[in-house]
Structure 1
Amino acid sequence: MSPAAQQIPYVRFDSKDVLPDERLDYWQGSLSNVCTLSFPGGLTASEFKARNEMWMLGDMMLSVRECSPHILHRSERSIKLDQLDHYKIHFRIGNGANTDMVLGRRLIHVEAGGTVLTHMAQPELAHVHGGTTINVIIPRDRLDPLLPRPVDLHGVTLNGPCSVLLASHLTTLTQTVGGLTREQLPAVTGATLQLLAAAVTPTLDTLALARPVVEATLMRQVRHFIEANLTNPDLTPDVICKHFKISRSALYRMFEPLGGVAGFIKERRLYNIHTLLTSAQHRPHLHRIAEMHGFKTAAHFSRSFREQFGYSARELFAAAPQRPVHMPISGGPRYSMDRWLHLLRG
């Protein structure tokens, strides 16, 4: 295997490399639909300074971000668009590295040296006061089996000896990740998971059950089944019911908070097409792609795409080469955060 093929996918952003007036668009472009970036009063986009490095560690994503004050918002709309179900570790380091997080009806203050978990399937508003943050994003299916019971981990603050070990592990990992090989990644990610599970477990006695494990597991399985069959034109509620041996009423009840199962399938198909178009190297056959995703007519597809995203599929592809969401990765495809996060699903 060539050295390039062995290299871990990596991307770096530094605001010093971008003209001041372009920094906001460049950074927001890299975030794609995952979250939106804004600034507290008194700070303009041209004054925004940031340095961000990201690595794909197999089925985890590691990042180190050093930046001036900013606000990151993961909204209900973002969650509905990308349907990401990952956990995210926030480890704050450095002087002045404080963050105020609004998670539902709760306000959490994270001091420098503090570590908190969030769940990307739930809204999050983070007022970052500067400093450095280490983030690790982990598919939920990797962590949940290591915990003794299902719990809501959104906003859980980690304390105790194991959390100190986890913080030390993450700090060392960011300093040594550049020398890792792909063959070493399973051992590294496995150790990270075990330390995280050990840090979470002592807090479980104070956490309420998130929801019955059967319902939670079934919901994830159905969603994964839908994702795997987006290009199957025969994907219908009846097909899902037959595959999982559940009633239509049970399926409809399960997806009612997401706008219904048919609407969910349609939105996931449109999002999948959007991802294909933003990563396409050559002009795609839109009608053929739409047909593969169950849209019977070009008019139905065009209308649905514009309703969901606010612009047409042709406009998206025409703008893609100039869009700032695409940054080169060493030995990997063009980059956008949502693309990498969907790759974590495996």
Structure 2
Amino acid sequence: MSPVAKLPSNSVLAEAGADCRRESQLFAETLDPVFRTTMATPERLDDFRASLATYFMGPALFFAAEMLGTTYRFARDPGRIARSGLDLIFVQVTLDGSDMRTVNGETMLVEAGDISLFDLSRPMQAETQHCRNLTLVLPRRLLFGKDAQTDALHGLLLKRSTSTARLIGSHLRALFADLTDITPDEAPAIVTATANLVSNLVAPQIAERSLPSPTVRGAVLMEIRRYIEQSLALPDLGPEHLCKVFGLSRASLYRLFEPIGGVTDHIRSRRLRAAFDMLVDERKRTVGEIAYACGFSDISAFSRAFRHQFGMSPREVREMGERGPLALGSAEKQAAASVHDWLRIVSAL
């Protein structure tokens, strides 16, 4: 009888010992597509421990992390967002300890038992001295559907006193406890069921946060972003075009988009994201046709920008889509050793 297949996994552990510095660097490098990670030199090395276990579930990743014994800082800035190109949602339960998190200009305390959601297409910072957490990493479309408006989920915090937090938290704990027994064939259905549970439970909170902003600035930014999504095919879509359509000065437009990395970078990022999705979903269209449909007039420039954003060429993404990224059984995915590769695969779904 052949052994039961296990989920591909990766573990990193840094603690007191001769290799502490190298292991700490590996911990930070593993998280590099997501965060710039810095760790202060521990006052007492015996208390220091940083661990990260990653499980590849096909249409999702699962992280189990522990940070002890020093100050850890995690930053996701506009530059990292643009370079990584990850379109993912983190659903996280804090098991022990706490962290201070800055999202949308507001600082919040995340404590044991709390559930937090954050969007990797948006900036955030966090700092902790002692924290253990579990994180389910999901593609946006699996959690909320392709056309859902998800601006309001970034920074959503569900306190441990709420039934919603307790239900999601208990489910993530149970999932983690069973990860070593889940097979690659079982994983997609489990991920889908978990995504449905989370999306249904947080929908009321997201709807409440999605009410029109009381500020004109917030409402205008939301309207412009919607227009950009609907107009990616326009070759002249850019600051000048948007200023004419919305009657804004360049300075006003730049101020609106400054918190999310700038208007030009935002347009380019959304065009490349649309091209990525079309390469996976619309296999009858050529790479050139998709580039033009997303507003690029130069195929070579498109290919260079695409590789810079996603770390893969358009043709490599097309081939990945043809292999079917949800099929966990392929030898290539089973043999994947890089958490970075797994993040890209899940983001492409």
Name the TM-score, length of structure 2 as normaliser. 0.66
Cα 1:131–1:48 shift into 2, 3 Å: same
What does residue 226 of structure 1 align with?
Answer: 275
Structure 1 residue matching 2:179: 3-state secondary structure: helix
The alpha carbon displacement at 1:53 in A equals 1.0
Say yes or no: does 1:7 pair with 2:61. Answer: no
What does residue 338 of structure 2 align with?
Answer: 335
AA of the residue aligned to 1:189: V
Unaligned stretches of 5+ residues in structure 1: 243-247, 249-260, 277-288, 294-328
State the Cα deviation string for residues 255-310 of structure 1 (Å, max 9, x = none).
xxxxxx997763322344xx46xxxxxxxxxxxx89x89xxxxxxxxxxxxxxxxx
Structure 1 residue matching 2:294: 3-state secondary structure: helix
What does residue 167 of structure 1 align with?
Answer: 169
Distance 2:2 2:48 in 1: 39
The alpha carbon displacement at 1:38 in A equals 1.1
The alpha carbon displacement at 1:334 in A equals 2.4
Structure 1 residue matching 2:170: 3-state secondary structure: helix
Distance 1:158 1:146 in 2: 24
The alpha carbon displacement at 1:30 in A equals 1.5
Q: CA RMSD in A?
A: 3.9
AA of the residue aligned to 2:345: L
The alpha carbon displacement at 1:36 in A equals 1.2
Q: Is the 8 A contact 1:32 1:336 kept in 2?
A: no
The alpha carbon displacement at 1:215 in A equals 4.8
Q: What are the equivalent positions in structure 2 for 1:151-230 lying under 5 Å apart?
A: 151-159=151-159, 160-208=162-210, 211=222, 215=227, 218=230, 222-227=271-276
The alpha carbon displacement at 1:44 in A equals 8.9
Name the TM-score, length of structure 1 as normaliser. 0.67
State the Cα deviation string for residues 225-273 of structure 1 (Å, max 9, x = none).
422659946765x44359xxxxx9xxxxxxxxxxxx997763322344x
Q: Is the 8 A contact 1:23 1:45 kept in 2?
A: no
Q: Is the 8 A contact 1:11 1:330 kept in 2?
A: no
Structure 1 residue matching 2:169: 3-state secondary structure: helix
Cα 1:267–1:221 shift into 2, 3 Å: closer
Unaligned stretches of 5+ residues in structure 2: 213-221, 233-268, 281-285, 317-331
What is the total number of aligned residue pairs between the two structures?
275
The alpha carbon displacement at 1:130 in A equals 1.2
Distance 2:3 2:333 in 1: 11
AA of the residue aligned to 1:268: F
AA of the residue aligned to 2:123: P
AA of the residue aligned to 2:275: I
What does residue 139 of structure 1 align with?
Answer: 139
- The structure with higher relative contact order (CA 8 Å, sep 6+) is 1
What does residue 240 of structure 1 align with?
Answer: 294
Q: What are the equivalent positions in structure 2 for 1:71-90 lying under 5 Å apart?
A: 71-90=73-92
The alpha carbon displacement at 1:121 in A equals 0.4
Structure 2 residue matching 1:126: 3-state secondary structure: strand
The alpha carbon displacement at 1:163 in A equals 2.4
What does residue 320 of structure 2 align with?
Answer: none
State the Cα deviation string for residues 8-55 of structure 1 (Å, max 9, x = none).
111111114870221332112212333111135865999742122111
Say yes or no: does 1:268 pair with 2:300. Answer: no
Distance 1:66 1:171 in 2: 15
The alpha carbon displacement at 1:2 in A equals 6.2
Distance 2:152 2:119 in 1: 8
Distance 1:61 1:206 in 2: 28
Correspondent of 2:95 among 78, 93, 96: 93
